[in-house]
Amino acid sequence: MLEITQRIQEEATRLLQDGKVDVVIGYHLGSDEEEVSPCFVIKEPQATNLVFNEHCTHNLAKYLVGREGYLTSHFRPSDELPRVAVVAHPATLRAIAGLIQEHQFKREDLIILGVVDGSQVGVEPDVEVGRIEEDSEERKELLTRIRELEDMSVSERREYWQREFSKCIRCYACRQVCPFCYCEQCIADENQPQWIGKSPSLPNNEMWNLIRAFHLTGRCIACRECDRVCPMQIPLSLLNEKLAAEVLENFGYVAGTDVETAAPLDTYKVDDPDDFIR
Ligand code: SF4
Ligand code: SF4
């Protein structure tokens, strides 16, 4: 990981020195070695603060779009795009591909310093700054838990999710951290009409969590950041990845692996075998 840190620092310094970018989005150390947080480097000497280690899980694609997005504001007049470089691990690379596919920005708007693991991603980095191993143990564990849920009866499964959703305190951390939750006005914040009741009761929580899951079906690129930040430890990845498995089985589609093809629930075919379209 030290080598990756070094490569990131070198590339960031070079890009800022040559005036190729206005900001490099990466990670820096928090209060101790085990804590990192996203950072925005705009001056060349700060590039030596950049790090990469196993705690760098945040999906930095989050900072590329929306009102706070570094591709839409901050460093340049409003009619000019800021020039941005971003450190991207494999999930961030998938998120960037998904966001390009959703027309949030263009590939050429961005310089990607990629940390790859050999998994399929929809964009190639401009510079490969390192390689890491895919955490296959974590993935296996998740798939086992999904199978356990599939083996339950419908009522057991419903009980399981009701138990989990009843813990939700509606802090919206899951939404705030997700690169694909970029709506200017979230359905959860609307009050005329109010689609989702705001108080954290079970029916309202079910509505919130299920609407969010469906909005992300076929778009979620499995970074698991929503799961990581949920203060109530609700296993959101179980839901997201079960839906991803359904999308793969029914449509042969994996989010974040293709910048051309829209997610199955974002599109339609006039020759769809079902009759809802006619
Ligand atoms: S982060 Fe967890 S507790 Fe907060 S709104 Fe999302 S699911 Fe609910
Ligand atoms: S829903 Fe969760 S796992 Fe999926 S892209 Fe958003 S933050 Fe990542």
For residue 87, the cross-strand partners are 113
Give yes or no for residue 115 CB within 6 A of ligand 1: no
Nearest alpha carbon to residue 57 among 223, 174, 208, 209: 223
pLDDT for res 253: 95
CA of 86 to the centre of ligand 1 (A): 27
CA of 246 to the centre of ligand 2 (A): 16
pLDDT for res 77: 61
Length of the chain equals: 278
pLDDT along the chain (278 residues), means of 10: 94 97 94 88 95 95 80 62 92 97 92 95 96 86 94 96 97 96 89 89 96 96 96 96 94 94 86 74
Ligand showing the shortest atom-to-Cα distance for residue 208: 1
Q: Which residues line ligand 2 (CB under 6 A)?
A: 59, 177-180, 216, 220-226, 240
Structural domain boundaries in the chain: 2-131, 136-266
149: amino acid identity, one letter? L
pLDDT for res 249: 94
Give yes or no for residue 277 CB within 6 A of ligand 1: no
Coil vs helix vs strand at 231: coil
Alpha helix stretches (DSSP H) within 29-125: 90-101
Alpha helix stretches (DSSP H) within the chain: 2-17, 90-101, 136-151, 154-165, 173-177, 202-215, 225-229, 236-251
CA of 83 to the centre of ligand 1 (A): 33
Coil vs helix vs strand at 112: strand
Coil vs helix vs strand at 84: strand
pLDDT for res 129: 97
Ligand showing the shortest atom-to-Cα distance for residue 229: 1
What percentage of the chain's residues is helix, strand, coil (to nearest 5)? Answer: 40, 10, 45
pTM: 0.92
Give yes or no for residue 169 CB within 6 A of ligand 1: yes
Ligand 2 atom nearest the C-alpha of 181 is 6
The residue whose C-alpha atom lies closest to atom 7 belonging to ligand 2 is: 178
Mutate to test the pocket of ligand 2, among 57, 58, 59, 234 (most ligand atoms within 8 A of CB): 59
Place of tokens 């991603």: 121
The residue whose C-alpha atom lies closest to atom 4 belonging to ligand 2 is: 220
CA of 54 to the centre of ligand 1 (A): 24
Give yes or no for residue 15 CB within 6 A of ligand 1: no
8 A C-beta contact, residue 26 and residue 38: yes
